[in-house]
Amino acid sequence: MEFTAEQIAGLLNGNVEGNPEAMVNTLSKIEEGTLNSLSFLANLAYEEHLYTTDATIVIVNRDLELKTAIKSSCTLVRVEDAYQSFTKLLEVYNQFRNNKTGIEKQTFISESATVGEDIYLGAFGYISDNATIGDNVKIYPQTFIGENVTIGNNTLIYAGVKIYHDCVIGDNCIIHAGAVIGSDGFGFAPNKEGSFDKIPQIGNVIIENDVEIGPNNCIDRATMGSTVIKKGVKTDNLVHIAHNVVVGENTVLAGQTGISGSSKIGKNCMTGGQVGITGHITVGDNVKIAGQSGVSKNIKDNQVLQGSPAFSYTDYMRSYASFKNLPSIVNRINELENK
């Protein structure tokens, strides 16, 4: 893929300062710019690199005033917001890169499956009975789609994903490599012999539109009913969502977050890494939970939490300030007692 400065300016509603025919075919950081690469400057902490970069084209804010001359080999594209414009170009680049179509050899599609238009199915993919695949879906190699699964339009499923039977994936979703959707929930009942009997997990997983699931996520099917990941949710690597959990719209879960069975997470929530949420509780809307916190009770809307067990972030910081001084406080108490 190659683009000229003039084409990039047209796409971003920008202005060319330099050679409009300057050509780029790769992307780079401004401090690591190379010939024929495109970069950007949004943070002025990196401005010094603008005057030395070997990048062929650099996107900058329209109001940036140059402190000295840039290299003659460098062309600027001036836009209203360099960061947003570069992000837009990354989206375009990604669309080109993922614009695969066709069905590769050594794949299996059941005769009872329904497959939409302009799909891509990578080698060793398996589409089971009565599965429904929407238009413009991209399914990378070694992916398993179980019986009665429905996948909406424009969804991207990377290599090695496993989607068990009866699960539903919405439109415009991204599921990264190694994710398992719809495996059994952790349901076992103790018996008289002291071992455990497996409780059949007969529900499914519903992932709504515009969701992104990170690599190696495990989202368990419901015992009955559905585990539901609502519209706009984003999950990081190694997230576990247990059976019958509901995650609200536009909530984001950082790496190694674990949510136990039947808990309900509100919309617009954020968790840091390694957050643990116990089962059968409700977390309200707009809640923020700091990394490595453990949540064991219902949380109202708009709370900011930290600690294990988690409590108010402000109270946590005050308590931690005292905790750090605990050795000196104990010494002072001992001195007073000795007197």
82-97 helix and 5-12 helix, angle to the nearest 10 degrees: 110
Contact by Cβ (8 Å): 173, 213: yes
326-338 helix and 313-324 helix, angle to the nearest 10 degrees: 50
- Distance (Å, rounded) from C-alpha 131 to C-alpha 139? 13
Query: Considering all CA atoms of the chain, what is the largest pairwise distance in Å, rounded to the nearest integer?
Result: 89
Closest CA to 159 of 132, 140, 133: 140
**Cβ of 23: how many Cβ atoms within 10 Å?**
15
Task: State the catalytic residue, choosing from 49, 165, 243, 280.
Answer: 243
DSSP three-state, residue 7:
helix
Does residue 243 have an active-site annotation? Answer: yes
Q: If residue 329 lies in a helix (H) or strand (E), which one and from where to where?
A: helix 326-338
- Distance (Å, rounded) from C-alpha 277 to C-alpha 255? 14
Catalytic residues: 243
